[in-house]
Amino acid sequence: MENCVKSALIVLASLLTQRLAAQIVHLPEPGDTTRVQFDVARDADTDIQNAIRLARRSGKNILLDVGGEWCSWCRKLDRFFLQNRDVGEFMHKNYVVVKVNYSKENKNERTLSRFPAVKGYPHFFVLDQDGKLLHSQDTGALESGDRHDREKVFGFLKEWAPEDSTSR
């Protein structure tokens, strides 16, 4: 009987985690050829609170990807993760990724006012499992010429991954 209760609790926890993950707008999973768009209707505060709960359960940090559909570099960054599967896999193993829209229609001012000013898009904020800001990253520094630099992006993700990420 005790094993049945434990099994039921494990299944329930797994289902809750999957449901929570589905509520968060994130970058495409490795192998997924569809691009997740920035959604002006999303509530960024709710997405971040859900990400915090998921990060606590999974031991991951949180990566906020701030941008909009109007941003060509935002679309380039999405393509970068699709084309560099190992980088995308590492990202998803170590971060709960949340897209935060910034556009004329929805600037998410209340949410973004809690973080350092953004000078360009896309922009990354790395949060710990409790939602505390660890780092603010201008993605322009992760570019070379007209594209994102693989080594710079991967280096950034490795630097800000949770400390126990070597086992992932």
Q: Which domains does the chain have, with CATH numbers?
A: 2-167 (3.40.30.10)
Give the full edge-to-edge strand order of the sheet including 95-101. 95-101, 61-67, 123-127, 133-138
Which pLDDT value is given to residue 74?
A: 95
CA distances (Å), origin 62, targets 33, 72, 93, 126: 23, 23, 11, 6
State pLDDT tens for residues 129-162: 999 999 999 999 999 999 999 999 999 999 999 9
pLDDT score at 167:
45
At 17, is the pLDDT very low, low, confident or very high (cuts 50, 70, 90)?
very low
Q: Which DSSP letter does residue 164 get?
A: G
pLDDT at 32: 55
- Stated pTM of the model: 0.81
Do 135 and 126 touch, CB atoms closer than 8 A? yes
Separation of alpha carbons 35 and 44, rounded Å: 19
* Higher-confidence position of 29 and 164: 164
Higher pLDDT, 72 or 22: 72
Give the other-Cβ count within 10 Å of 57's Cβ: 15
Which residues make Cβ contacts (< 8 Å) with residue 15, sequence separation at least 6?
none
- 82 contacts 148 by C-beta, under 8 angstroms: no
